[in-house]
Amino acid sequence: MGNWRFLAIAVSVAAATFGVGVWINLDYLFFAGYVILQYVVLATAWNILGGYAGYMNLGVSAFFALGAYTTVALETALKLPLPLTIPAAGVVAGVVGLGMGYLTLRLKGIYFAIATLALAVVAETFVTNWDYVGGSAGAYLLHPLRGPWFGSYTEYLFLLMLILATLSIVVARAVERSWIGYGLTAIRDDEGAAEASGVPTLRLKLFATALSGALMGMAGAPLPYYVSFLEPASAFNLGYAVTTIAMPMIGGTKTWLGPLIGSLLLATTQQVASVTISSEVNLLVVGVLLVGFVMLAPNGIVGWFQRR
Amino acid sequence: MTITYPLLVNAVITGLLMGGFYAALSVGATVAFGLLDIVNIAHPTFAVIGAYAVLVLNRTFNIDPILAGLLLTPVFYGAGTLLYRVYYHFFERRGDDAMRGLAFFFGLMFLAEVMLIMLFGVDFRYVQAPYITTTLNYGPIALPLRLAVPFAGSLLMLIALELFLKKTFIGHAIVAVAQDPFALRLVAASPVRIKRIAFGVACASAALAGAFIIVIEPLQPAVGRDFIGRVFAICVFGGLGSLPGTVVAAISLGLVENLTTVFIGPSWSPAVAFGALLATLAWRPSGLFGRS
């Protein structure tokens, strides 16, 4: 299936999802659906680098929170509306990814992973010290009750995240099936051999890091409006990183379908569990699932259906 | 801010003492990473688990925290060997699975943190020992025993480890397993067994490092994460697997970090370790005492 046909199908599915949402017209559904879609974007974005190329980004919360704080900064400075801060957040997070990647991607993947983990701590330090965006006290970003065109503001945020999720899946699939995707897969399987066969490994890794970081930043951009009150400790919460990494691990990391399945399953379970059970137990479940799938099912759920 | 002489000297002393502790905290990670090729990013969190165990022993039996840490080392050694069995079975045996192993330790780190929060809450906890509140004063220069005792303990632990690696057969075998596991087989030593012992020793060091953590500062489940950047900056900068390198790197980091705290601001000190890590990776990835 070509990319354009897939785009048409993805857009129809998204439109149908939104249509059903509008028909049910329950604000809580948009509220919970937003979080699920946010994880679809995060998991899909993470998988472009982590799944295709095998380079593990442990600093998901850093990219995500940088996106959120880009919105806070631009709202405070220029009163920019959300549809404009989302691409800006993508640029900021993408550039940070590119810079980090440039310094560490020439080495073994382990070093990149450690550096991203440390990045989360440093980015948090930086934002905590930056009083303009609220510093350690946090920032309020109150949204109007109504969306700009129709429905509630939550419905509007849901729609934006639905567009982002559709976009990231289409992009991830297009990358996967292009020469870039094949190059990234070659890097994952044997980087030395890939380099020797003429795959521009560093350039491909940098591209994947920047793209993946940019999508994560874009996923974080609407967060300040969604939570109304943003402070560094919750924006940089490690839970975002663990949950995001667990999703492709559960679904399967080799195709775009894996993170989609993993994120829909895990995020929906979490939404149900956080209402019915405590949030700590919720996090415990995510941790157990991550460790369990990594140990016992290296190819995830998608792997169960691919008999070779 | 004016830089006065006593302020500078005190910052240097504090940095030196903290550096010694950083070395103790990093040594387990550098043995696992440098000699065994196991990137245990959960190592600082293991130390935090050790610190909470020390807290429980100190509060219930009134045992001195550092003695409690020492008593916990066999337990941590056992847990470490067990963990290596799991790691070997699911990851190492399958070959090229370093990344999955990393996700495994990342998950473990998170699980440990969540469980500590469920057990102890997020309040800051501390232990009681006579030396924690004592500071020796020599004129304008202060020597807080809260830092000096863990420093001395760290040095003793590092010397003991260095002697173990350099003077015993198993120690030689651990260094050898990093260089040539096949050659180790030829002298009838099982590389898997040697790595199991080494990983156990690395985890045992986390128990003592945990005791030092809770003597130095109040404890909270998430502090382990703040140490990750420092620990791996030290590992890489020190040249993986080199104990003298670890000590030099740790003390340099402690010094720079403390000078930053005193002269720029305490909230910026976490950025120092990250800067050091990135700089090392960009310009000298084999570290100060690296082999290649």
pLDDT at position B292 is: 44
| Residues of B contacting chain A (CB within 8 angstroms) | 39, 41, 86, 90-91, 94, 97-100, 102-104, 106-108, 110-111, 113-115, 117-118, 222, 225-226, 228-229, 232-233, 236, 265, 267-268, 270-271, 273-274, 277-278, 281-282, 285
pTM of the model: 0.87
Cβ B267–A129 below 8 Å, yes or no?
A: yes
Cα(first)–Cα(last) distance of chain B, in Å? Answer: 43
Each residue's pLDDT tens digit, B83-120: 999 998 888 777 656 678 888 998 999 899 889 988 98
Structurally, how many domains does chain A consist of?
1
Whether residue A260 lies inside any domain: the answer is no
Whether residue A143 lies inside any domain: the answer is yes
In chain A, what residues touch B285 (CB-CB under 8 Å)? Answer: 107, 111
Report the 10 Å Cβ neighbour count for A194.
Answer: 21
Task: Evaluate if residue B139 carries a pLDDT over 90.
Answer: no
Task: Evaluate if residue A229 carries a pLDDT over 90.
Answer: no
Comparison of pLDDT for B197 and B135, the residue scoring more? B197
Which fold, B5-283?
A: ABC transporter involved in vitamin B12 uptake, BtuC (1.10.3470)
In chain A, what residues touch B225 (CB-CB under 8 Å)? Answer: 121, 238
Whether residue A288 lies inside any domain: the answer is no
CA B221, CA B120: separation in Å to the nearest integer?
8
Residue B42: DSSP 8-state: T
Whether residue A74 lies inside any domain: the answer is yes
Q: How far is A104 from chain B (nearest CA, A)?
A: 6
ipTM here: 0.83
Q: Please list, residue by residue across A208-220, b when 16 or more beta carbons sit within 10 angstroms of its beta carbon and e when fewer do.
A: bbbbbbbbbbbbb
Domain spans of chain B, in order of start: 5-283
Each residue's pLDDT tens digit, B154-190: 999 999 999 998 898 888 888 888 777 777 777 777 8
Do the Cβ atoms of A2 and A178 come closer than 8 Å? no
Mutate to test the interface with B, among A55, A129, A237, A291 (most CBs of B within 10 A): A291
Cβ B107–A128 below 8 Å, yes or no?
A: no
Confidence of residue A40 (pLDDT cuts 50, 70, 90): very high
Task: Evaluate if residue A108 carries a pLDDT over 60.
Answer: yes
| Nearest chain B residue (CA) to A51 | B99
Mutate to test the interface with B, among A47, A122, A254, A278 (most CBs of B within 10 A): A122
Do the Cβ atoms of B77 and B91 come closer than 8 Å? no
User: Between chain A and chain B, how many beta carbons pairs sit less than 8 Å apart?
Assistant: 117
Q: Which domain holds residue A38?
A: 3-237
Q: What average pLDDT does range A161-188 have in this prediction?
A: 90
Whether residue A252 lies inside any domain: the answer is no
Cβ A56–B99 below 8 Å, yes or no?
A: yes
Whether residue A289 lies inside any domain: the answer is no
Average pLDDT over chain A, rounded to an integer:
85
Q: What average pLDDT does range A192-221 have in this prediction?
A: 89
The helix (run of H) or strand (run of E) holding residue B15 is helix B5-30
pLDDT at position B202 is: 93
Q: Please list, residue by residue across A61-73, b when 16 or more beta carbons sit within 10 angstroms of its beta carbon and e when fewer do.
A: bbbbbbbbbbbbb
Do the Cβ atoms of A154 and A30 come closer than 8 Å? yes
- Most distant CA atoms of chain A, gap in Å: 58
